[in-house]
């Protein structure tokens, strides 16, 4: 299951018990829309093991600025509250799956 990440709830998810994956996107972004079904599938597959969140950069630009995100989609991977990996741009499900597995 995916959660919506906002500036208000980001810290609580970041400091939660599970690793966190944040998909930074915008409604006008074609590549963001292209990977959305892949991220949703992985969110379901890793439910209970990894928290997967979607963060609209138009509404939560502070998060994008905090991590120096200049291009979207950008996927941030956090473990124990620390940024451990980042992917920029669209990719295959297998590439994203590799990154998800590395968090466990």
Which residues are part of the catalytic machinery? 29, 32
Q: Is residue 90 within 8 Å of residue 74, measured between CB atoms?
A: no
Q: Rounded to the nearest 5°, which phi and psi values hold at 102?
A: -65, -25
Rg (CA), the chain: 12
Q: What is d(CA 31, CA 34) in angstroms, rounded to the nearest whole number? A: 5
């Amino acid at each position: 299951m995916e959660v919506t990440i906002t500036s208000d709830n980001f810290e609580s998810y970041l400091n939660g018990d599970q690793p966190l994956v944040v998909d930074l996107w915008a409604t006008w972004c074609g590549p963001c829309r292209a990977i959305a079904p892949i991220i949703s599938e992985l969110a379901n597959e890793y439910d209970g093991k990894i928290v997967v969140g979607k963060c609209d950069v138009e509404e939560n630009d502070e998060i994008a600025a905090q991590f120096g995100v200049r291009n979207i989609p950008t996927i941030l991977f956090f473990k124990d509250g620390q940024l451990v990996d980042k992917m920029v741009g669209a990719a295959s499900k297998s590439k994203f799956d590799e990154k998800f597995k590395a968090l466990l």
